[in-house]
Copies of this chain bind each other. A is one copy, B any other.
Amino acid sequence: MQNPESPKYQQQKQAAIRAAAAVFARKGFHGASTTDIASEMGIKQGSLYYYFKSKEEALAEVCLYGIRDYVQRMEEIARDDAPFEVRLLATVRSHLSSYREKNEALKVHNDERLYLPEIKRIKLKQLGSHYRELLEGIFEQGVRDGALREDLDCHFAAQSVIGICNAWGELIVRDPRLDVEQVITKVNDLLLRGLAPMGAKA
C-alpha cells in the first residue's frame, strides 16, 4: 500500500502475516474470517485492509512466507558438500523444525494454497518445484556416491520424503508435546534403513 519503507508498516505487516498464518492454520482459509485474523493481531477488522488488499492476498502472502525460507534452507543444504546421510538428516530437520519453530505458514501453504487462483500460485509452484528438484539432486548424488541403492527412483524418493515430513509436521503442530528431535531421528532412520532388520532379504 503506502510507503513500504516505513519500518512501522513493515513490522505491522509481518504481524499481519503471522496472524493470518495462525488463523488459517487453525480454521482453514474459508473457515477463517477476516475478523479472526484482525483480532488475532489486536486490531479491528477493517484495519486489516491497510495491510492486505484482500483475504485472498493474505493467503498468498502467508503461503509465500511459509515456503520461502523453507526453500532457502534447502538451497543451503544442496550447496553444501556433505555426505548424503548428513544432507538427508539436515533436510528432515529443516522441514520438521519449520513446523515447530517458525509458525504455521508452511502448513497453510500445504493445505490451503490450492484455494488461490492459478495466477497467484505460479510463484509458489516454482518454489515448490525448485525444492523438489534440489532434493532430487541430493538423491541423485547419493546414488552416485553409493550411499543409496543404484536402482532408486529419485523422484519417488523425494516425494516420499516430503510426504512423510509433512505428515509428521501436521502431527507436530497438533500435538505440542511431541519431541521433535526424536521424530527427526526416527524419520531419518526409517527413510534410510526401512523397518526390516538389517540383512533381511529383499
Contacts and interface: CB of A to CB of B under 8 A. Distances in A.
A160 B152 contact: no
Interface string A1-43: 0000000000000000000000000011111000000000000
A147 B191 contact: no
Name the interface size band of chain A. 35 or more
A133 interface: no
Interface string A163-202: 1101110010000000000010011001111111111101
Contacts of A75: none
A66 B196 CA distance: 31
Given A28-B28, A28-B30, A31-B115, A195 B159 contact: no
Complex copy number for this chain = 4
B186 A196 contact: no
A148 interface: yes
- What is the interface of chain A mostly: helix, strand, loop, or mixed? helix
A159 to B, nearest CB: 7
A152, A167, A168, A186: residue with the most chain B Cβ atoms closer than 10 Å: A167
Contacts of A86: none
Contacts of A152: 195
A163 B164 contact: yes
Interface string A130-148: 0000000001001000111
Interface of A: 27-31, 111, 115, 139, 142, 146-150, 152-153, 156-157, 159-160, 162-164, 166-168, 171, 183, 186-187, 190-200, 202
